[in-house]
Amino acid sequence: MNTVGCSAGNSKGTLTWSLLIQSGVNLNNYELLSERWVISQRRPIYRATMSLQYFKHLLQFIRFYDRQHRNKSDCLARIRSIFETFAK
């Protein structure tokens, strides 16, 4: 286990989702990303997980759903991929 509590085998994608969820839990919606990576004792999880530049790079590729192919009867279509990732 590392300082974040994740095994070394976890993928960067899973860690990215973990950081996004952590931001939501901490209500960091209006805080600059760079402020989350400032060296401080109150939130070491961000720096311990990955660099700010790498996190920004991964955010460029996140898509929640494709409107053209979304199942109209699926109430969770917008977050289905996220839900299935954590339900494994």
In a domain, 34, yes or no: yes
Which is more confidently placed, 79 or 53? Answer: 53
Q: What is the DSSP letter of 77?
A: T
In a domain, 19, yes or no: yes
In a domain, 72, yes or no: yes
In a domain, 3, yes or no: no
Full-prediction pTM beyond 0.85? no
In a domain, 6, yes or no: no
Determine the structural domain holding residue 53 and report its residue range: 12-87
User: What is the predicted pLDDT for the residue at 16?
Assistant: 74
pLDDT digits (tens, 9 = 90+) for 3-27: 444 444 456 667 777 777 777 777 7
Q: DSSP letters along 1-67, please?
A: --TTS--TT--HHHHHHHHHHHHHHTT-TTS-HHHHTS--SS-THHHHH--HHHHHHHHTT-----T
pLDDT digits (tens, 9 = 90+) for 26-74: 777 777 888 888 876 677 888 888 888 888 888 787 766 566 666 666 7
